[in-house]
Amino acid sequence: MADDKLLVLAFYVVVDVSISMEHNGGLIGANTILPTVADAIEASPTLGDVVRFGAMDFSDDARVVLRLGDIRDVRTLPQFTVRGGTSYEAAFTLLRQEIDRDVAQLRSDNYRVYRPAVFFITDGEPTDAPDALNSAFEHLTSPSFAARPNLIPFGVGGATKALLDPWVYPKEADSKKSMRSYVAKDGVRPEDAVRQIAEVLVSSVIASAGSVNSAGSTGGFVPPADDDLEDWL
């Protein structure tokens, strides 16, 4: 029966690996994310039992960096490495494919899966044609897609709220539990800002796992607390 299935939370981090992210130091910060998450989960068996974690990157295309799974099983954590441009379309398209695949696999392994959470990190404007980009985002967040993710964009460098707000999901009009975007304040180095994202991600993972353990199927993803993001707008 469904009630006998274990509950799991799926988290993805999606990182812009464009040339500008290397120049501004953002990729140095990005490469602290997986070790920070791995250390937190390794230190808490409860987290490891509930959380499944995956990573992707994007430039002119998008790639799976770490397949969604139990990060405790990963012997050598991968690195984010610079490639090219900034295609949000490629990121959203791959996210849709991977979430569909991963959720189906988890269900076949007898898990019940909450809607995933995606931390999306970028430093600038997408290079995509607007129609193609909008179509990819709508496909990812369509109400007909039961596993549509909670999507939280984080902007460093040249990214602005106006740039990122269209890619938040769900928005206030779509849900009682809406997400929001975050942009690093002026003067905060991209490297330092992305390091902070790693810590905020861990806090969200811990809070979300606590929600699952205390509330069961009525629990779920707990977004970042604004109090933990003092250097962000």
Closest-CA residue to 85 (of 163, 155, 157, 17):
17
Query: Could you tell me whether strands 62-69 and 51-58 are parallel, antiparallel, or unpaired per DSSP bridges?
Result: antiparallel
pLDDT of residue 38: 96
Q: What is the pLDDT of residue 215?
A: 60
- The pLDDT of residue 46 is 85
Q: What are the structural domains, with CATH classification, of the chain?
A: 2-228 (3.40.50.410)
**With contact defined as beta carbons under 8 Å apart, do 17 and 82 qualify?**
yes
| 209 Cβ neighbours under 8 A, 6+ residues apart | 9, 46, 47, 50, 51
Contacts of 163 (CB under 8 A, 6+ apart): 124, 125, 155
Classify each residue of 31-56 as buried b or exposed e, where b means 16 or more C-beta atoms within 10 Å of its C-beta: bbbbeebbebbeeeeebbbbbbbbbb
Closest CA to 71 of 197, 205, 203: 205
Cα distance between residue 6 and residue 79, in whole Å: 31
Mean pLDDT of the chain: 93
32 has a pLDDT exceeding 90: yes
Mapped onto helix, strand or coil, the DSSP state of residue 98 is helix
Looking up tokens 């991600």 gives 201
The percent of residues above 90 in pLDDT, for the chain, comes to: 80
Residue 45, pLDDT > 90, answer: no
Sign of CA dihedral 14, 143, 50, 107: negative
Q: Would you place residue 134 in the very low, low, confident or very high pLDDT band (cuts 50, 70, 90)? A: very high
Residue-wise pLDDT tens digits, 177-226: 789 999 999 999 999 999 999 999 999 999 998 887 766 666 678 998 88
Phi then psi for residue 67, to 5 deg, are -65, 140
pLDDT of residue 225: 87
Q: How far is CA 148 from CA 29, 64, 90, 96, 175, in A?
A: 27, 18, 16, 8, 13
**Degrees, nearest 5: CA angle 94-98-104:** 155
